[in-house]
């Protein structure tokens, strides 16, 4: 066969196999037998094995998995993968609809109802129609590159036809079909292996396999639920985009429905609640989205949650079991945290042995006693919690619980700050707190020091090698070689990993410090606002409060942290060790040019959503109000501004267009009304 004939035959086989994959795995209408498919697939493998230079990444043979990799690389999301706010009954959903109507200044808007799948969210990227990257959600900003594993999922197209945009990212949920999960577990049991606990965890575990050949053996599936971005962008609504993605070969859910009223949403919810047990995939609710993209952009986001969507959750899975004991542990900030020790029980496919009890008030309000029969549920289908006591089943032998008066780790007195429900150990030398702080400091979302797990961290503290988190940068060969099972190679690898962590981005350092209420997202906000550690240390509480996304509780916590002399000493030790304590992206600190001025934003904007406008105003020291009054300094008006425009005119309030507002703040000069 000539070279041109080989290329033509390869192209023909790939097109046919990709088409039959789509017919079989996506729309469930196969046109050929499995045997006929296997014959074509084998022919393709044979030709490629003899012409390795002609193998392409979109070939069906590339779904079988590749050689194991050492670790997953980070994958940044150009547009964050947001999490959803929740509604748990009709009233909470209607509250969301009313808030959204108010922000849009219109009573009616089209919505899309979709089932909420219980799987693992991923982003799939295509360039020139070819699948090039698959990434997990991660923290919403940065996930893990699992391209090799995603490629093994047969319902995901590896190549798109010519109707596709040049660049495309779609979002979807990878899941393990319930029927396939049952067959998979039956095969494990027949082989003498333990069965897996539930489809959701198994799907997540399959995507996290370093050997994609293992993932290829697991019958994972996917539903595409949204468009991340497209270049060029040609659709104006979510429903249009989903229909288009379906036409490109992506698997979308047949139960998606466009509706006009909140009553239609509630009917959709109740109708599908009746059928969830008959579906071949786990669902834990309904997702409701505003359909028009321009309205989505206008509504924007709050924190990590879009204002334009909400998850209306199905009732949680519940089970009854015995409360065997109440234990306590010590958190990294010194909190004494009670937890329930339960007679193991299955809740929603997961065996639950412990549940959170939050604090002493939580226990007292529910009158929980050791020995009680209790109702357990998985809040948000994830965190087990005790809902209530079954008092009618008490026998009189149940025992009341009392919080310890001394720390179970160091033996020092426990204190309860005035007006707080928390119990605290305030001993700065408490070893368990130090272990927890160090565990957090070296974790993946913080300094990400490979080789420093909880067991090794505990040993370092117990041996007196660590007095605070900065001490890991002052460890040396002689310190570590004295520890059990630490040879020179292991010591060298660990010290190299520690040294490498010094160059982590500045926001990761802020996260690692363990400031109460400060996670990755808040750390990024602080980095963008202040840019380096010295500016952050000098920040005032009243400045912090007006940073978008930071409220009084976070501002107070950050301010208090940097007033503590011990914390400042740790930062100086980090600085001397060579840890990067400034943003490497060229941050420019801007003055609070809108300080003290009150704004109202109304109408739809062309370039910025309402939430983005509010973020800009608050970030520059301004105050945002939802209604016009005599105390309002400026009204920023977009398209279709509504009654607020007339109110501002009647009160003589200065009115700015979107462009005028942007020009005003870009001048970077203090603004006077």
Residues recognised as catalytic: 116
Structure tokens at 451: 């080789």
d(CA 188, CA 181): 11
CA-CA-CA-CA torsion sign (263, 267, 270, 273) = negative
Specify whether the CB–CB gap between 371 and 393 falls below 8 A: no
Joined tokens for residue 579 = 């840890």
Q: What burial letters (b/e) apply to 234-272, b meaning 16+ CB within 10 Å?
A: eeebbbbbbebbbebbbbbbebbbbbeebeebbebbeeb
If you write DSSP's letter for every residue of 186-246 in order, what string do you get?
A: HHHHHTTPPPPS-HHHHHHHHHT-SSHHHHHTS--EEEEEEEEEEES---SBHHHHHHHHH
Determine the distance from the C-alpha atom of residue 534 to the mean position of all C-alpha atoms in its chain, rounded to a whole number.
30
Residue tagged 């959204």 (tokens): 100
DSSP class of residue 23? I
Q: Which helix (H) or strand (E) holds 577?
A: helix 565-577
Hunting for tokens 């425009």 — which residue is that?
645
Number of other CB atoms surrounding residue 408 within 10 Å: 14
Distance separating alpha carbons of residues 59 and 393, to the nearest angstrom: 62
Six token digits for residue 479: 């310190």
Tokens linked to 119:
């799987």
Alpha carbon separation from 333 to 44, 402, 447, 561 (Å, rounded) = 59, 21, 18, 11
């Amino acid at each position: 066969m000539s070279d041109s004939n080989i290329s033509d035959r390869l192209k023909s086989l790939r097109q046919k196999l990709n088409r039959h994959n789509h017919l079989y795995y996506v729309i469930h209408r196969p046109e050929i037998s499995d045997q006929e498919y296997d014959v074509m697939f084998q022919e393709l493998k044979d030709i490629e094995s003899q012409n390795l230079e002609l193998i392409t990444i979109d070939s069906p043979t590339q779904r079988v998995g590749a050689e194991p990799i050492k670790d997953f690389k980070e994958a940044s999301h150009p547009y964050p993968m947001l999490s959803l706010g929740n509604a748990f009954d009709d009233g909470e959903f209607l509250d969301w609809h009313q808030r959204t109507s108010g922000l849009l200044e219109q009573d009616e808007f089209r919505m899309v109802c979709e089932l909420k799948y219980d799987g693992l969210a991923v982003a799939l990227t295509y360039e020139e129609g070819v699948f090039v990257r698959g990434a997990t959600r991660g923290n919403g900003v940065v996930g893990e590159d699992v391209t090799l594993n995603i490629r093994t999922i047969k319902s995901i197209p590896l190549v798109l036809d010519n109707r596709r945009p040049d660049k495309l990212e779609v979002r979807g949920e990878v899941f393990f079909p319930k029927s396939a999960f049952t067959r998979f577990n039956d095969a494990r049991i027949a082989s003498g292996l333990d069965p897996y606990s539930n489809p959701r965890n198994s799907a997540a575990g399959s995507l996290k396999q370093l050997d994609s050949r293992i993932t290829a053996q697991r019958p994972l599936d996917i539903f595409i639920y949204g468009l991340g971005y497209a270049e060029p962008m040609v659709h104006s609504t979510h429903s249009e985009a989903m229909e288009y993605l379906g036409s490109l070969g992506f698997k979308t859910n047949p139960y998606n429905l466009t509706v006009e009223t909140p009553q239609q949403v509630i009917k959709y919810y109740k109708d599908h609640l009746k059928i969830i047990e008959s579906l071949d995939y786990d669902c834990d609710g309904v997702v409701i989205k505003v359909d028009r993209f321009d309205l989505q952009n206008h509504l924007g986001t709050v924190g990590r949650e879009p204002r334009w969507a909400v998850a209306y959750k199905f009732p949680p899975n519940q089970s009854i079991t015995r409360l065997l004991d109440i234990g306590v542990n010590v958190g990294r900030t010194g909190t004494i945290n009670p937890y329930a020790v339960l007679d193991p029980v299955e809740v929603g496919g997961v065996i639950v042995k412990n549940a959170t009890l939050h604090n002493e008030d939580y226990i007292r309000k529910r009158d929980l006693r050791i020995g009680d029969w209790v109702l357990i549920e998985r809040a948000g289908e994830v965190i087990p919690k005790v809902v209530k006591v079954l008092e009618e089943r008490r026998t009189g032998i149940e025992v009341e619980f009392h919080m310890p008066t001394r720390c179970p780790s160091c033996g020092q007195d426990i204190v309860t700050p005035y007006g707080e429900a928390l119990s605290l150990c305030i001993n700065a030398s408490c070893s368990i707190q130090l272990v927890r702080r160090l565990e957090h400091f070296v974790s993946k979302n913080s300094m990400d020091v490979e080789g420093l797990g909880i067991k090794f961290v505990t040993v370092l503290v117990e041996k007196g090698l660590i007095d605070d988190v900065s001490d890991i940068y002052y460890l040396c060969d002689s310190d570590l070689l004295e520890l059990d099972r630490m040879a020179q190679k292991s010591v060298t690898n660990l010290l190299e990993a520690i040294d490498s962590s010094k160059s982590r981005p500045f926001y990761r350092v802020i996260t690692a410090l363990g400031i109460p209420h400060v996670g990755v997202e808040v750390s990024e906000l602080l980095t963008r606002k202040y840019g380096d550690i010295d500016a952050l240390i000098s920040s005032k509480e009243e400045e912090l409060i007006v940073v978008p996304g930071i409220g009084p509780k976070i501002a107070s916590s950050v301010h208090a942290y940097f007033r503590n002399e011990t914390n400042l000493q740790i930062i100086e030790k980090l600085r001397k060790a060579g840890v990067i304590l400034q943003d490497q992206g060229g941050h420019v600190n801007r003055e609070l040019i809108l300080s003290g001025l009150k704004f109202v934003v109304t109408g739809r904007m062309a370039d910025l959503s309402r939430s983005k406008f509010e973020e800009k105003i608050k970030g520059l020291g301004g105050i945002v109000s939802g209604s016009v009054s005599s105390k309002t300094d400026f009204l920023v008006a977009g398209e279709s501004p509504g009654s607020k425009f007339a109110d501002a005119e009647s009160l003589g309030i200065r009115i700015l267009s979107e462009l005028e507002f942007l020009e005003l703040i870009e001048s970077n000069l203090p603004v006077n009304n």
